[in-house]
Amino acid sequence: MTIDFWLEVLLAIMAFSLTICFVRLYLGPNPPNRTVAFDTITSHAIGIFALLAMRNKAPALLDAAIVTAVLGFVGTVMLARYIEQSNLQDWESDEE
């Protein structure tokens, strides 16, 4: 079993996990849960870019991973500020 085989296995696992995260993002009952799903999707995308860079021997994909990390961080901070400024009482009553 070569490293190429394991890279393919890891890419398949990451793709399946990413699909589950997108479902969570779509079905999330409230914005904080969707924010966590968004952050997880960003982390998965970074991992997939890194695996593809190793498989294809394309260092340019690592640049894409860095850009994705920065944009994901900015997006998470923006969503957190939105949640902070919104009324949290509405979301807490939905969970009960």
* Closest residue by Cα to residue 66 from 79, 55, 50: 50
Q: Which residue matches tokens 């509405």?
A: 90
pTM more than 0.85: no
Report whether pLDDT(78) > 70: yes
Return the DSSP state at 29. Answer: S
Sequence ranges of the domains in the chain: 3-87
H-type helices in 1-96, by residue range? 3-27, 31-56, 60-85, 88-95
- 9-49: per-residue pLDDT in tens? 999 999 999 999 999 999 988 888 899 999 999 999 999 99
CB 48 within 8 A of CB 11: yes
Cβ pair 61, 49 in contact under 8 A: yes
Q: Mean pLDDT over residues 59-86, rounded? A: 92
1-11, pLDDT tens digit by residue? 898 899 999 99
